[in-house]
């Protein structure tokens, strides 16, 4: 089986490539290394240093004819999307359309798209399911939601099979201190430098944090089932910034300090995703509790 992974040198993408290679897939990676890292590239995969919005990426899909496309490459920094909405659109929307357009000329078994809980904005609900109306409050969330609409319309018009996966906040080894859901990586980087931890706002804002390997397994499960659906990849449990700090105090041997700063523009106050539909449709469930995933992540930083 042949798979193409965009963003395969990045945080989630590199873990996905590793798992696909371990399962015997022939894997092609498309990454421009703007945020991905060369050391994360699996040596058994074929690497193409390309931008997803380029004609070369379009031609690569047609020539290689992958059975599965996992589209993870994105501009995922909310602050950067606010500073430069045009660049955010170019990466997240134009790049997605370019890949979809290539699929018109070669059959694919599934186009699996990595989306985000940011499409919901400040949802006034304790637990968000897939029927909740999207209302993004960041340009990043808007670009992802618009890409979702293009995917659905390409399916309706050109019969391209797809599965859209809206992630909670993904964390784990290899995550950098930039991008969506990067607060855990930011905190660990600060601990390594023996610097205080900055808490944006009151620290009571919550997210649904999901470990990276659980996201990988959801992607693979989704690729093997032609669902033409939008599904949420999450734990269904909410965790606050203050709870993360309390957990880090249990793991870290040295005392550290934290301080409060102002809220970040475009940030969502609360986000927790219902994963019931994913469990039913994919036969998938998260294996990592937050405590277990956090310990794995902390140990990977050699603190």
Q: Name the residues annotated as catalytic.
A: 140
**What's the pLDDT at 109?**
97
Tell me what the mean pLDDT of segment 264-277 comes to: 84
Report how far apart the first and last C-alpha atoms of the chain are (Å, whole number): 39
Q: What is the pLDDT of residue 85?
A: 83
| Neighbouring residues of 152: CB distance < 8 A, sequence distance ≥ 6 | 162, 164
pLDDT recorded at residue 84: 82
For residues 229-257, give the mean pLDDT.
Answer: 95
What's the whole-number average pLDDT of the chain?
A: 93
24 CB-contact burial (10 Å; exposed 0-12 / middle 13-18 / buried 19+): exposed
Model confidence at 88, in pLDDT bands (50, 70, 90)? confident
Task: Give 78's pLDDT tier (boundaries 50, 70, 90).
Answer: confident
Band of pLDDT at residue 266, cut at 50, 70 and 90: low
DSSP assignment of 6-38 = ETTTSHHHHHHHHHHHHTT-EEEEE---SSS-G
Please determine, for residue 179, whether its predicted confidence score (pLDDT) is greater than 70.
Answer: no
Residue 167 CA, chain-centre distance (Å), reads: 6
Each residue of 142-166: pLDDT tens digit?
999 999 999 999 999 999 999 999 9
Give yes or no for a contact between 277 and 232, defined as CB atoms under 8 angstroms apart. Answer: yes
180: pLDDT strictly greater than 80 = no
Which residue segments constitute the domains of the chain, with CATH numbers given? 2-171+210-234 (3.40.50.720)
Q: How far is CA 250 from CA 172, 295, 299, in A?
A: 18, 10, 13
Mean pLDDT of 83-106: 92
- Position 303 pLDDT exceeds 80: no
pLDDT of residue 71: 98
């Amino acid at each position: 089986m042949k798979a193409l992974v965009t963003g395969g040198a990045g945080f989630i993408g590199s873990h996905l490539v590793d798992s696909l290679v371990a399962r015997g897939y022939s894997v092609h990676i498309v990454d421009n290394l703007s945020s991905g890292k060369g050391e994360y590239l699996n040596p058994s995969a074929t690497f193409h240093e390309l931008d997803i919005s380029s004609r070369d990426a379009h031609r690569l899909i047609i020539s290689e004819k992958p059975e599965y496309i996992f589209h993870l490459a994105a501009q995922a920094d909310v602050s950067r999307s606010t500073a430069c909405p045009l660049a955010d659109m170019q990466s997240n929307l134009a790049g997605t359309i370019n890949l979809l357009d290539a699929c018109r000329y070669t059959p694919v078994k599934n186009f699996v798209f990595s989306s985000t809980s940011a499409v919901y904005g400040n949802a006034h609900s304790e637990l968000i399911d897939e029927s909740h109306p999207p209302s993004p409050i960041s340009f990043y969330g808007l670009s992802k939601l618009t890409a979702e609409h293009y995917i659905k319309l390409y399916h309706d018009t050109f019969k391209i099979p797809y599965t859209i996966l809206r992630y909670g906040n993904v964390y784990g080894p290899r995550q950098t201190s930039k991008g969506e859901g990067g607060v855990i990586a930011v905190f660990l980087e600060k601990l390594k430098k023996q610097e205080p931890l900055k808490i944006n706002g009151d620290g009571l804002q919550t997210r649904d944090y999901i470990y990276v390997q659980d996201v990988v397994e959801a992607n693979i499960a989704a690729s093997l089932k032609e669902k033409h659906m939008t599904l949420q990849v999450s734990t269904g449990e909410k965790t606050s910034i203050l709870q993360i700090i309390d957990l880090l105090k249990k793991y870290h041997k040295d005392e550290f300090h934290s301080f409060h700063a102002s809220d970040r523009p475009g940030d969502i106050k609360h986000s927790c995703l219902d994963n019931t539909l994913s469990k039913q449709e994919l036969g998938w469930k998260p294996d990592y509790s937050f405590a277990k995933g956090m310990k794995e992540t902390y140990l990977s930083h050699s603190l």
